[in-house]
Structure 1
C-alpha cells in the first residue's frame, strides 16, 4: 500500500496544466535552469563579448585587425590550412571510428563494456603523452623508420614528422574516441527488429546497413563529426609538437600573437574570425545531415 502511494505522487504543484506528471511548470523549469544559464553567461558569453569588443574597439572602432587578416595572404593561408587539417582529421576519424563503433554495437553487453572501457582509457590518456608517443614513433631514428630500414623497405630514414601528414595522423589518434562514442550510442539505440525486418523482406546485409542502420545512426555521426571538427580547429599541443614551425595553424598563431608579440587586438580578431567560421561550419554540418530521415526523426 505504501509503495503504491509513493509510486503515484498526488502533488499537483509541479505539474503543468493538462500535461503529464513528468513535466514541470514554466516558472519551476526556469528556476531549475537559471544556475546553468548564469554559469553559461559568466563562463562563455561574457568572455566572448569581451573578445569581440577587444577586436573591434581599441579604444575606438577600428577594423584594422580584420583588414590585416584579409589583406595579408599568410593569415588566410593559415586559416585555410587549419580548416583543411580539421576536415581531413574528421574524415579519417569517421572512416576509422564507424567500423569500430559498429563492431562494438554488435557485441554482447560484457564485451561491449570492455571495448567501451578501452576507448575510454584512450580518451583519458593525456594529450601531451600521446603526442610525444607519435614523436617517438615517427622521428628520424624512431620506431617506424628503424623498422622499415631493417626490413629493407627504405634505404634511408624518411621524413615522417614535422609535416601535415604527421599532424593529421596524431590528431586523428587523439580525437578518435570523440567519434566512436556518439556513433556507438546511436547504433545501440537502433532496435534490432528494424534490421531483422529488412532482412526478412529480402534486403541483403549491405542493403540493410545502407537503408536502415546508416540513416538511423546519422545523429551519432553528426555529433561525432561536429565534436572532432571543432576540437581539431582549436588544437594547440599536438600540431605544435608533431607539426613543428612549418605547420602553423590558427591556434598556434593566436598563441604567438597574444604571448610573444603581445598584439591582443589582432589575436582577438583571429579568435573571432575562427569562432564565426566554426559556427558557420556547424550550421553547414547540421544542414547536410538533416537531409536524412534518420536525423530528422530526432529533430
Structure 2
C-alpha cells in the first residue's frame, strides 16, 4: 500500500519483486538446475549416479546420520532457545540489552571463527578437559574433539540465534492479558503457560525449527572441522567427491537427493501449517 492509502496494483507489485526473483534465479535456481542436469547427463544420460547413492549402504548411512544430527540439533536448539526467548520478553532495560547482545553477538563473527573456538575448547588440553579433571570427573583427558558430540554441540551453539529470534517474535505478539485472564480463571502459572502461552507461540517454534533443521542438513564448516572422517555428513561427502575424486556427476546426485528430501519436508510443513502463521501473521 502506498503512503497515500492507495493499493499498489498486481503489476506494480510484480515489478517491485522482479529484481529479487532475478537474483534468486541467478544465484539459487540456476546452479541447482545445472547440478541436477550434470547428475543425469554426464558423462552420458543415465540414472546410475542416483542408483549408487541409494544402493550403497555407506552413502545411505551418511544420509541417515545427517538426518539424525539435524533432528538432534533442532531439538537441543529448541530446548535451550525457548527459555532465552521467554526471558527476553520479560526483561526490560539493561537486562534486555544484555540478553539481546548475547543473542546477536554470534552474527558479528563468522561460523569458521566460532567453530575454531570450539576446537580450542574441546581439544585434549582444552578448557573443557581441564574443568573435567579439576572437578574430579575424569582422571585424564578424554576425547572430545573429532566426535559426533562435538559437532552437535557446536552446531547447536551456532544455530541458536535462528531459533531464538522467531520464538521471541511470536512471544512478543502474545498479549499479557491472556495470561492474566488465565490466572483470573484459576489456572496456575505452569498450566497457563502450557495451555495459553505455549500453543500461541507454536508458529514461532515451528518456523525456527524449520529454519534450524534445513540449515543443519547442509552444514559443512562445523562437521568438517570438528567431526571425524568416519562420521561425515552429506555436505562433507559432497565436498570430498568434488575436491578429491573429481566425481562431479555423483556429487550432483548427492545434492539432488538432498534437494528432493528438503523439498518434501517443505511441502509437508506447508500443508500442515499455513505460511502466514509461520511468519507470525494473524488469522
TM-score, normalised to structure 1, is: 0.87
Cα distance in 1, alignment partners of residues 111 and 161 from structure 2: 12
| Match status 1:70 vs 2:66 | no
Give the Å deviation of 1:110.
5.1
- The structural deviation recorded for 1:289 is 5.4
Q: Which residue of 2 aligns with 1:17?
A: none
- Taking structure 1 as reference, are residues 129 and 51 closer, same or farther at Cα in structure 2, changes over 3 Å only? same
Relative distance call for 1:294 and 1:40 in structure 2 (3 A) is closer
Once the two structures are TM-superposed, the CA of residue 206 in structure 1 deviates from its matched residue by 1.2
1:189 is displaced (CA, Å) by 1.2
Matching of residue 251 in structure 1 with residue 242 in structure 2: no
Alignment of 1:113-132 (within 5 A): 113-132=97-116
Structure 2 residue runs without a partner (length 5+): none
Contact 2:206 2:278 in 1 (8 A): no
- Contact 1:162-1:246 within 8 A present in 2 as well: no
Q: What CA distance in whole angstroms lies between the structure 1 residues aligned with 2:3 and 2:241?
A: 61
Q: Could you tell me which runs of 5 or more consecutive residues in structure 1 were left unpaired when the two chains were aligned.
A: 1-6, 10-20
Structure 1 residue 145: Cα displacement: 1.4
User: What's the CA shift string for 1:5-60, capped at 9, x where partnerless?
Assistant: xx984xxxxxxxxxxx3521122112111221222222221111111111111254
Closer/same/farther in 2, CA of residues 276 and 69 from structure 1, 3 Å limit: same
Kindly report the root-mean-square deviation, in angstroms, between the aligned alpha carbons of the 2 structures: 2.2
C-alpha distance in 2, partners of 1:69/1:180?
A: 35
In the other structure, the counterpart of 2:248 is 264
- Aligned mate of 1:177, from 161, 178, 183: 161
Q: Which residue in 2 is equivalent to 1:154?
A: 138
**1:186-229 C-alpha deviation (Å, 9 max, x unpaired):** 11111111111121122211111111111111111111111111
Separation in 2 of the partners of 1:260 and 1:131? 23
2-structure distance, mates of 1:59, 1:151: 59
Q: Secondary structure at the match of 2:136?
A: coil
Asked if 1 retains the 8 angstrom alpha-carbon contact of 2:146 and 2:228, the reply is: yes
Q: Distance in 2 between matches of 1:32 and 1:43?
A: 19
In structure 2, relative to structure 1, the CA distance for the partners of 1:151 and 1:211 (3 Å cut) is closer
Alignment partner, residue 120 of structure 2:
136
Partner residue of 1:28? 12
Q: What is the 5 A alignment of 1:24-103?
A: 24-58=8-42, 60-103=44-87
Query: CA offsets per residue over residues 104-134 of structure 1, 9 Å max, x none?
Result: 1111255324321221112322211211211
Instruction: Out of 98-107 and 125-134, give the one that drifted further.
Output: 125-134
> How many residue pairs align between the two structures?
280
Larger radius of gyration: 1
How far residue 61 of structure 1 moved from its aligned partner, in angstroms, is 2.3
**Number of the residue aligned with 1:198:** 182
Cα contact 1:222–1:286 (8 A) shared by 2: no
**1:215-265 CA-partner distances (Å, limit 9, x unpaired):** 111111111111111111111111111112122110000001111111111
**Shift in CA distance, 228/22, structure 1 to aligned 2, threshold 3 Å:** farther
CA contact (8 A) 1:135 1:242 kept: yes
- The TM-score with structure 2 as length reference comes to 0.92
Q: Using a 3 Å threshold, how does the CA distance of structure 1 residues 178 and 83 change in structure 2: closer, same or farther? A: same
Give the match's secondary structure for 1:246.
Answer: helix
Counterpart in the other structure of 1:278:
262
Does the C-alpha gap of structure 1 residues 184 and 142 become closer, same or farther in structure 2, counting only changes over 3 Å? same
